[in-house]
Amino acid sequence: MKSNAGKIYKIVSIVVLGLCLYGFLLPLISPIMEKMLPRIWVCPFLRITGSECPFCGITRGITNLYRLKFDNASVISMIVFLLGLIEIAFRTMIILTVSGLRQKIIKGIILTDVYYHTLLVVLTSIYVIIFLATNF
């Protein structure tokens, strides 16, 4: 690798890939954890307020997608599933190829990645604000 930025970006990509894989395994892990730790394995927002949070049901929805029950999965679950697949593919590609890329290309990829994730944070924030405004 030509730069420290490339090494750091590769490490960040490995961490993000691990988190995405955990998210995809969560529907398989969740029933086991719920039996082992029933009081802890509850949405903290649901536990504190008694109301579902904007993200309650995503794990159930992804489980339904795994079982090919598309009518039982929410639109948010489908979007999260699709974004997760895209993220896993992108991170895998970055991990495999960042070592051979030029400095200028790495900086462009990092900048695009930051813009993409900033957009995701903004859209998620808007979704949460709308959810809270219409449900409380």
pLDDT tens for 93-113 read: 999 988 888 888 989 999 999
How confident is the model at residue 3, as a pLDDT?
62
C-alpha span between 55 and 81 (Å, rounded): 13
Mean pLDDT of 120-131: 94
Mean predicted lDDT score pLDDT of the chain: 89
C-alpha span between 33 and 52 (Å, rounded): 19
In tens, the pLDDT along 47-104 reads 888 888 888 888 888 988 988 988 888 888 999 999 999 999 999 999 998 888 888 8
How confident is the model at residue 1, as a pLDDT?
42
Number of domains in the chain: 1
Q: Please determine, for residue 2, whether its predicted confidence score (pLDDT) is greater than 70.
A: no
Q: Tell the burial category of 20 from Cβ atoms under 10 Å away from its Cβ (0-12, 13-18, 19+).
A: buried
pTM of the model: 0.79
Task: Choose between 135 and 13: higher pLDDT.
Answer: 13
**Sign (positive or negative) of CA dihedral 110, 116, 121, 122:** positive
C-alpha span between 34 and 31 (Å, rounded): 5
DSSP states along 80-122: HHHHHHHHHHHHHHHHHHGGGS-HHHHHHHHHHHHHHHHHHHH
C-alpha span between 25 and 1 (Å, rounded): 32
3-class state of residue 53 by DSSP:
coil
Residue 12 domain boundaries? 4-135
